[in-house]
Structure 1
């Protein structure tokens, strides 16, 4: 799959000046739409968590033209998420909350092309993170269609 790198970069640069509000809105969207995700963050400093989210997004966008750097970083991130209790079925929830948040912040710049660029990017990120996550075979026995169905926003 080829990613629309330019569109990812330009759209992300438009939300960067509002980075803290973006992170706060992301978690608000996640917990409002998917309250089942909230327990994963029960013992989390949410201000620090917001910084981690932003750092991860910056890492992705700044290294999107360097797949070898990005791949190693995302595999490590996937491995750490296992320790936090994240499961493969949580990834679509996060993806949908991320899309909602981009839509809120980009407003008229949230075009079908921009949305598709982020759907594709998040799909690629998820695949790489899951490669780095050491889940047992039965946990990973989610067929791709299930994951794809969950990535269709219901908003």
Structure 2
């Protein structure tokens, strides 16, 4: 796509005198249109975040005539944004807020031509950033696929039976362990009904254990769960954090029954669960 460089440069020049107000308005517009996005910034230094956004806009506009430099920079930015928790589905929300803010600040200068220039530019930016992002399952891959490494079903069943009498306390402790080890994850649950969330987690654990001997049903259920978790904002990088918190909680509640053999059974089970959930998730553009 050939971008309308002059229209982009000239319109951005008109924004520059009000650059700080522009980025503040951008976040106001983003959160007004998408209140569910606000918790993602719960632990973010917004003054620093606004500077980063402005620097990214300047980077884009100043390198419009250097496509190779810009392409590499945007791919790198896309890779970094995976670590910040950005999902492919967030990009259109950001784009809409950006266009709204341009319209707000450009006024009569926000012509059909200028709007089209920024729509095309943001489309190209998104494409490049997502091509640099990696939503693959590499970092949570199993040493061997589940079918080559059958799960220790009896150990999983008997150890979970010992948890059941304290199931409610178990799931509460899981979230305490998750947030203690990963305080940056807490804002993701800022607008979540935690009582309902704990019931869902317990329901998912019961679903897994009760269907260990029914692999076809379990496979479909976990793929569906993975697809739903994309909508909740779950990223591939979140799965190891959840796994670590889950193992910590099992150890806490099983005590002397948390043997090396039982631990290995749950490590393998969580690896298989992760693989199936991620195979059901769709992080494509």
Aligned to 2:121: 121
C-alpha displacement of 1:112:
0.7
RMSD of the alignment, in Å?
Answer: 1.1
Unaligned runs of 5+ in 1: 143-155
Unaligned runs of 5+ in 2: 137-278
C-alpha displacement of 1:140:
2.9
3-state secondary structure, aligned to 1:50: helix
3-state secondary structure, aligned to 2:74: helix
Aligned to 1:14: 14
Deviations 1:53-83 (A, max 9, x none): 0000000000011011111111111011100
Which has the higher relative contact order, 1 or 2, with Cα contacts under 8 A spaced 6 or more apart? 1
Deviations 1:26-50 (A, max 9, x none): 0000000011211221111111111
Task: Tell me if the contact between 1:19 and 1:54 (Cα under 8 Å) persists in the aligned partners.
Answer: yes
Aligned length: 142
Q: Does 1:39 align with 2:39?
A: yes
Runs of 4+ in 1 over 4 A off after TM superposition: none
Cα distance in structure 2, aligned partners of 1:11 and 1:40: 30
Cα distance in structure 2, aligned partners of 1:86 and 1:128: 14
3-state secondary structure, aligned to 1:8: helix
Q: What TM-score do you get using the length of structure 1 for normalisation? A: 0.89
3-state secondary structure, aligned to 2:18: helix
Which protein is bigger by CA-based radius of gyration? 2
What are the within-5 Å matches in structure 2 for residues 98-137 of structure 1?
98-136=98-136
Cα distance in structure 2, aligned partners of 1:67 and 1:24: 28
Cα distance in structure 1, aligned partners of 2:43 and 2:92: 22
Q: Does 1:141 align with 2:265?
A: no
Aligned to 2:54: 54
3-state secondary structure, aligned to 1:3: coil
Aligned to 2:84: 84
Q: What TM-score do you get using the length of structure 2 for normalisation? A: 0.49
C-alpha displacement of 1:139:
3.2
Cα distance in structure 1, aligned partners of 2:130 and 2:284: 12
Deviations 1:67-117 (A, max 9, x none): 111111111110111001110000000000000000000000000110000
Cα distance in structure 2, aligned partners of 1:139 and 1:58: 32
